[in-house]
Amino acid sequence: MINFLKESTFAVKSTLRVAWRILKKEYLKVFGLCFMMFLIFNISGFMAYIFSDFNLVVSLLMAGIFLILYCGFQLTLFKFILRVIDEDYHEVYVRDSIPPTRHIVRFLVATIYFILCVVCVYGLIIIVIFPFAYIHVPMEVLKQVAVSMGALGIIFTWLRIAFFPFFIIDKDFSAFKSIKFSLAVTRGNFTKLAMLLSLLTVFQLLHLVVNLEGNFAWGIFVSLINTLLIIPLSSVALTVVYTRMITEYEGDTNPTIMRNII
């Protein structure tokens, strides 16, 4: 177990070193794409507020446009980083990384599958826990346990399925096939992924704590670190992890979901 943790720690450190090197090389382009996603997300929220009492059809149309734009920029970001990794000694341009329409559609469909998976996992947890009410376990205790286990279940599901966008843009897989391969390549890598996620979310948690304490100056500082460094680094690190898992993958060419859940 100790050797396994040492190997996982080394793998995470190695991933972060490679991600940092790539980010330094292409910082402006990576940050620019992240910033565009940030703008689209916030503008869409503002427009939703403006059009909340307006025509429903116009509101849905605007929501669809912003959703497609956000997904397009996210896929462009991942595809750009993949091309930087593959073409390490050549100049890579963002315009050459714009995904085709079919990839955006597959990404949206896979996202729906992802949401359904999360709902199913949470539903199974509730089904397992709440029968304990019949043996007089307090309902408040059951609710707390359900929320805690549900949160862990969502994190587990996210870590296992989160790599589906890469299979869509890199392998041109369908939405469902990308979900299956994400489950397959992450099997056996959960500890490494969890450690990497923990390191990358430290500043997110710190930002939340600072905001709760009402420290405005520190809140701005932590927010800047997140925006300028952590979010771009996270995107690059996830892409590096994907390339490594693909290189090491020796599983089936047509994996099944049930075989790769655990």
Would you write out the chain's pLDDT as a tens digit for each of its 262 residues?
Answer: 444 444 555 577 888 899 999 999 999 999 999 888 888 877 877 776 676 666 667 777 777 888 889 899 999 999 999 999 987 767 888 988 999 999 999 999 999 998 888 888 888 888 888 777 777 777 787 888 888 888 888 888 888 888 999 999 999 999 999 999 998 888 888 888 888 887 777 766 666 666 666 666 666 677 777 778 888 888 999 999 999 889 888 877 778 776 766 6
Cβ atoms 38, 60 nearer than 8 A: no
Q: Residue 255: which region, alpha, beta or left (left: phi > 0; alpha: psi -120 to 50)?
A: beta
**Residue showing tokens 């892409």:** 239
Q: How many CB atoms lie within 10 A of CB 257?
A: 12
In the chain, the N- to C-terminal Cα span, in Å, equals 18
Q: What angle do CA 103, 106, 111 make, to 5 degrees?
A: 125
